[in-house]
Amino acid sequence: MIRANRWRPVRVWLAIGAAGLVLSVIGFVTDPHQAYASWLAAFAAGVSIALGALILVAVTHLTGARWFDPLRRIALDIAGTLPLFALLFLLLLPGVGRLYPWAHAPNAVNAAYLNPAFFVIRAVVYFAIWIAVGLTLRRWALARSTGAELPPSQRERALAAVALPALGLTLTFAAFDWLMSLTPAWSSTIFGVYWFAGGFLAALALVALAGALGPMPLDEDRGYALGALLLTFVVFWAYIAYCQYLIIWIGDVPAEVAWYVPRVRGSWGALALVLLFGQFLLPLLALLPHAAKVSSRMLAPVAAWLLVMHYLDCYWLVLPALHPDAVHAHWLDLGALAAVAGTAGAWATWLHAT
Amino acid sequence: MKMSRGLLAEFASADALVAGVVALESHGYSQLETYTPFPVPGLERRLRLGHSRLPLLVFAGGVIGAILGYGIQWYADVRAYLLNSGGRPAHAVPAFIPATFEATILGAALTGFVALLIALRLPALWHPVFEVEGFESASVDRYWLAVGADDRLFDHNGTRAALDALGPLRVVPIPEMVA
């Protein structure tokens, strides 16, 4: 009976993921442009959360955050989905030609960097580093006598120190490759930090949500630490988003504003405002009071809300490349989201149960 | 017997102090004050200080700072002195944000600083407890518990007995006035 209950969440997530996969595969055949763009948005949101969880583990290893010890297993299980994201990335590869204009511009100035072969080689390097670090940190944490709830060992801290710069660089280049190059003539050096800020915030939110809904509710100290970090990264995300926007807005050069023009007009502009309020002002006000940070019951809904916002943020990054005129909500958006969230949820809950 | 503002008990450890606070509160004392060399975990909750109004004041100060900061830029750039800067709109919202942010922080920080001074009745150069011989150990290695004479239950002999029962190093009266 207990065993059956343990696997139930895995089966539920798997059912969602399978339904999403079926829809997406139908989409890849019937409406590939839409299907691959929807897939990229969901994939970018999901993989950034897994990376954020991995960076969270590495950072707390190094700062010696003891409050994080009981939550580390959750973050390690989220980071443990990185091999799955490598598989999900494979499904994106047939769509490279449809998603990225540079795939058909072998003579463009940046073709030495942006070409399909090098794109794949770089992705292999990113995933190799992420998976190696994620799985090793997880195995070493579980190898400790009573599991992941003890402070990290010396070798774990050493690996975290070596890995963090590599994670920062690969995450930045992955953001350039997968998201920024949707508009190949446009560049923003802060773009990788923007994607990191959103992913790290969402990873914190997912850890807080899983912790709050888990068998042991968050105590006051743990809740406060998570709530304060969520508040910090809500502000950090807004700060990075604003920095990029201000510099480009005030420069007002055609080549630089090209990326923003479709994203701040019409219904895309409305979505940008949803993000401004939903991922900054509302959570900022919700997380300011001390009482909101120390209570699981207050943190859980804010965390769930922030996860939705992170998906919308990635949607806003990707989909205007396909529909520059306006938001065209499509059933394939939901299909891709279900496929990514379902398979990743199944993967993480399976890791958690074993 | 000399008039006093209350009684002061000196303890050797934080645990003894917390136990003393708990015991006196169970007797019904409410005008308790503690002096410790470092923040003792859980003591604030034991003292039942109630909710501080400071966070709300600081928040209000931040909001007022934001409105003033944004307002002065709007007044200067949109009403008082229209300046065409490369064809950008006079009401340049993104450009107004940094100064608005700074004004928010300034408003919140100044409010917090001033409100805290008022709430703590600072600056005060003298306090009756300073007259107690050896009280400076409160910032070194001793833990002091004061019962105010304004406490409903305060009775010089009875309160002294209650404090003595807690096992302090000593109990001394807080003098009313400097001679």
Residues B58 and B97 in one domain: yes
Q: Looking at residue A153, what DSSP letter applies?
A: P
Answer whether residue B150 is part of any domain: yes
Question: Which residue has better confidence, A80 or A290?
Answer: A80
Percent of chain A at pLDDT above 70? 97
Domains of chain A: total? 1
SS3 annotation, chain B: CCCEEEEEEEECCHHHHHHHHHHHHHHCCCCEEEECCCCCCCHHHHHCCCCCCHHHHHHHHHHHHHHHHHHHHHHHHHHHCCCCCCCCCCCCHHHHHHHHHHHHHHHHHHHHHHHHHHHCCCCCCCCHHHHCCCHHHHHCCCEEEEEECCCCCCCHHHHHHHHHCCCCCEEEEEECCCC
Residues B44 and B131 in one domain: yes
Residues A222, A324: Cα–Cα separation, whole Å:
43
Residues B112 and B155 in one domain: no
Answer whether residue B139 is part of any domain: yes
| B89 and chain A in contact, CB less than 8 A | no
Contact A72, A141 (CB under 8 A): yes
- The C-alpha of B125 sits at a distance from chain A's nearest C-alpha, in angstroms, of 33
| B94 and chain A in contact, CB less than 8 A | yes
Binned at pLDDT 50, 70 and 90, residue B160 comes out as confident
Q: Which two tokens stand for residue A253?
A: 């050069």
Q: What does the pLDDT look like over A173-188, one tens digit per residue?
A: 999 999 999 999 899 9
Structural domain span for residue A198 = 2-353
For residue A255, the Cα-to-chain-centroid distance in whole angstroms is: 28
Single-letter amino acid, residue B145: L
Q: What does the pLDDT look like over A212-230, one tens digit per residue?
A: 888 777 888 888 999 999 9
List Cβ neighbours of B111 (8 Å cut-off, separation of 6 or more): B57, B58, B60, B61, B62, B64
Residue A99: count of CB within 10 angstroms of its CB: 21
Residues B59 and B104 in one domain: yes
Residues from chain B contacting residue A252 (CB–CB below 8 Å) = 86-88
B95 with A246: Cβ contact below 8 A: yes
State the number of CA atoms in the 13 A half-sphere of B147 facing the CB. 30
With a cut of 70, say whether residue B178 has pLDDT above it.
no
B94 with A249: Cβ contact below 8 A: yes
Count of H-run helices and E-run strands, chain A = 16, 0
pLDDT at position B53: 86
Mean pLDDT computed over A137-147: 80
- The C-alpha of A219 sits at a distance from chain B's nearest C-alpha, in angstroms, of 15
**Contacts A–B by Cβ distance under 8 A:** 17
Q: What's the predicted TM-score (pTM) here?
A: 0.88
pLDDT at position A171: 98
Q: Which of B99, B119, B139 is the last residue of a domain?
A: B119
| B41 and chain A in contact, CB less than 8 A | no
With a cut of 60, say whether residue A193 has pLDDT above it.
yes
Q: What does the pLDDT look like over B51-101, one tens digit per residue?
A: 788 999 999 999 999 999 999 999 999 999 988 888 888 999 999 999 999
A252 with B86: Cβ contact below 8 A: yes
Answer whether residue B72 is part of any domain: yes
B59 with A288: Cβ contact below 8 A: yes
Residues B42 and B130 in one domain: yes
Q: Please, what is the average pLDDT of chain B? A: 88
Answer whether residue B1 is part of any domain: no
Binned at pLDDT 50, 70 and 90, residue B129 comes out as confident
Residues A233, A239: Cα–Cα separation, whole Å:
9
Answer whether residue B38 is part of any domain: yes
Q: What does the pLDDT look like over A43-66, one tens digit per residue?
A: 999 999 999 999 999 999 999 888
List Cβ neighbours of B78 (8 Å cut-off, separation of 6 or more): B90, B91
pLDDT at position A34: 96
B97 with A242: Cβ contact below 8 A: yes
- Chain A residue nearest residue B63, CA to CA: A285
Residues B64 and B113 in one domain: yes
With a cut of 80, say whether residue B2 has pLDDT above it.
no
Structural domain span for residue B150 = 6-51+126-173
Residues B93 and B143 in one domain: no
| B55 and chain A in contact, CB less than 8 A | yes
Q: What does the pLDDT look like over B105-118, one tens digit per residue?
A: 999 999 999 999 99
Q: Which two tokens stand for residue A52?
A: 């954020």
Domains of chain B: total? 2
Q: Which two tokens stand for residue B113?
A: 């600083």
- Chain B residue nearest residue A291, CA to CA: B51
